[in-house]
Amino acid sequence: MKFQDIRRHFETPVIDCCNLLRIQYRAENTLEPIGDAVTEFVVARLQFGEMSENIIGDCPDPENIRGAFIVEYYGPKGRGPARAQEAMECFFCSLKATQGVINLNGPDFTALDNQPYFFARLSMGIMASENYIESV
To the question of pTM greater than 0.85 for the whole model, the response is no
Cα separation, 94 vs 12, in Å, equals 10
Who's near 3: CB < 8 A, 6+ residues apart? 48
Cα separation, 60 vs 75, in Å, equals 42
Cα separation, 136 vs 126, in Å, equals 20
φ, ψ at 89 (rounded to 5°): -65, -40
pLDDT level of residue 77 (50, 70, 90 thresholds): confident
pLDDT level of residue 106 (50, 70, 90 thresholds): confident
Domain at 3-30+39-54+61-128: CATH code: 3.30.70.1700
Rg of the chain's alpha carbons, rounded to an integer?
Answer: 16
